[in-house]
Every structure is written in structure tokens, then in C-alpha cells.
Amino acid sequence: MRVLVTGGAGFIGRHVVEALVAGGHEVRVLDALLPHVHPAGSPPEFPDGVEFRHGDLRDESTVVSALHGVDAVCHQAAMVGRGKEIRDAARYVTCNDLATARLVTAMTELGLGKLVLGSSVVIYGDSRYDCPVHGRVRPGRRPKEALDAGRFEVTCPECGLTVVDSPVEEDDPLDPPRNVYAVTKLAQEHLAGAWARETGGQAVALRYHNVYGPEMPPGSPYSGVTAVFRTAVERGTAARVFEDGKPCRDFIHVRDIATANVAALTAANTGFRAFNVATGDPRSIAEVAAALAAAAGTPPPVITGEYRIGDVRHIVASPRRIKAELGWQPSTGFGEGMAEFARAPMRAPIPV
């Protein structure tokens, strides 16, 4: 299969390219090499046989040209992270949603029928929560007064009892997006779904959880605390862990993200289908900081009690669907992955 990988020069995209080549596929990469992601202005080294094209998805002629002769599209290009919130809205919308609209339009015109979209866990907001009295509830954001007092756990909106979190599944209700990035990732999924329904195409949305691994840029906004803690390791300083260190996430190695993309591209699905790409082995942020520090021999993390307004307490998801339907399994365990990541080479820092 000949596959176009958009954003293939990026952290995740590059690993996807390597996995596709290892699987015997032909790969063409399209990447704009935007300076806030690629400060050097040049692409990384790719495996032999990979065709690289420098171009922007927001340009119609560039997209059409890049699509000629390919069988499927693996869409990784996106502006990531929380950024500067609403002040970055125009850049997020054009880089993520306009670019995706250009892509599906051109795919329709050329008769291409297979799209895999790199989506995100951010579209869920929080995990699922259950109250011991009221059952499944949907709490609002944690109030500042509670956070100031060090009461970090989520409580029932009906009775105030602490609720119990559980993994989200793909058909659970999605949370109203909490920032511009989340808005654009949800819109990307809607665009992919509309394209699949209107054209009869096959679209897969892979909802990535907290991705980490070699060649991540220090301070990368993509993986939140993982990149922050790894940056502390790089500096030889103690990581500062917010709240009480107990917020939970699912930390997944980038090589497992890459193999999930290969599985999605080669699956015979129909219409639109979303999959959580997660390990199913959630960990607290304190565990991540401690594992990285221990592996690197740097000072242990410090639990600060600080917080950020708008941060979710827990967000973990079930990978049962992708395991059952695509036959995918994560191959890198938490201990092994963090030990490697603590000493893995990093990419050039992203300018602030």
C-alpha cells in the first residue's frame, strides 16, 4: 500500500512512517515544517525509500498533488497542546480543521477511500464518574475554593460525596471541549465522519492518550506532564508535581501509537469508527515523575500542591475495542518504557 503521512516529520508522524516502512508499505510524507515545531527548518532522516514533500495542507494545490498515486492517508498533521488559549484560536482552526477539510475534499475529488486520523483523548474531558448514592454523574469543573483548600478529588454534583472514576469508552458522551485545541480535535473527527458517510469511505479516528518516547521535544505541549518531567530529568532537577500527585492518565509509548496506525490502515472497517489508543494500565502523575527520576538518577519529585484551573483530575480510557476489532496490543510496559524514556535522545526544544 502507498500511504501519505501528513505531519510525518513530527514526533508521532516520524514513528508512524518507520512502522509503515517496516511493514512493507510505500510512504510519502507531507509536512509544512512549521518553525514553532521544527526550528531547524529541515526534515529528520527517514528510512530509505520514503518520499518527502515540503508543503502546507492548508494549500489546496499542495494537497491535491500530494494525494496523487496514494492508496490511503494517515493524517497526523496538527497544531497540538493548550497553547495560549483563545489567542491562538485562528492558528488552531486553520492548522487543524481547515487543513482537514482541504484533505477530505481533495480525497473525495480523487476517489480515495481510506483515512486514519490522529485524534486525542482531550475530546472526552474527564473520565467517567460514579457516585455511591446517585450512580453515573457528570460533575462540572472543580471549584477554585476546593482546589485552594487542597480538596482535589471530584465530587458528586448532587450530594458532594467523592466519586469513583472509571475508564471512558468510545461511545460515552463527549465532554464540551475545554479549550481551543479540544474544539479542533473534535471538529476533525466530525469532518472525518461526515466524509465517510457522504462518500462511503473508511475513516478511523485514533484517540491517543498521553504519548511519550524517544525524539519527543523537551517541553512538548503534546504529552503534558510526561514532557515536563522528562525536561526536569534532562536538567538534573527535581520534577514539580502538581496537586497531590494522584491525578491519573494512561501513558502510552509512541511505538505503540505507530503500530496502532498500521493496524488501522490495514483493517477492513467501513464508515467511521473511533478507537481509544491506550495501554489500559493507568498511572498517577507522581508515579511517572518518580519512575523517570529513579531511572535517570536525578532528585526525586516534589509534590507541590499547586494546581492549574481547568485541569482534569483523571482521564483514562478502555482499549478493549481496538484490541478486539483491530487485533492491536501495546508492546511497551510502563516500567520498560519509562526507563528507556529517561535516557532517550530528545529533539530540539520547541521555542516558547
CATH number of 1-126+166-340: 3.40.50.720
The domains of the chain are located at 1-126+166-340, 127-165
- pLDDT in 10s for each residue of the chain, 352 residues: 999 999 999 999 999 999 999 999 999 999 999 877 777 778 889 999 999 999 999 999 999 999 999 999 999 999 987 656 688 899 999 999 999 999 999 999 999 999 999 999 999 988 999 999 999 999 988 999 999 999 999 999 999 999 999 999 999 988 888 889 999 999 999 999 999 999 999 999 999 999 999 988 776 555 578 988 998 998 999 999 999 999 999 999 999 999 999 999 999 888 999 999 999 999 999 999 999 999 999 999 999 999 998 889 999 999 999 999 999 999 999 999 999 999 998 876 554 4
Environment class of 297 (CB within 10 Å of its CB; exposed 0-12, middle 13-18, buried 19+): exposed
Separation between Cα atoms, residue 215 and residue 345, nearest integer Å: 6
Strands (E), the chain: 2-6, 26-31, 51-54, 72-75, 114-120, 128-131, 135-137, 164-166, 202-208, 210-212, 240-241, 248-249, 251-253, 271-277, 283-284, 302-303, 314-315
Round to whole Å and give the CA distance between 220 and 253. 15
- The distance of Cα 111 from the centroid of its chain, to the nearest Å, equals 28
- SS3 of 323, please? helix
Residue with the three cell numbers 522528562: 230
Give the C-alpha separation, 127 to 121, whole Å: 10
- For the record, the C-alpha cell of 140 comes out as 462540572
Distance CA 347, CA 10 (A): 10
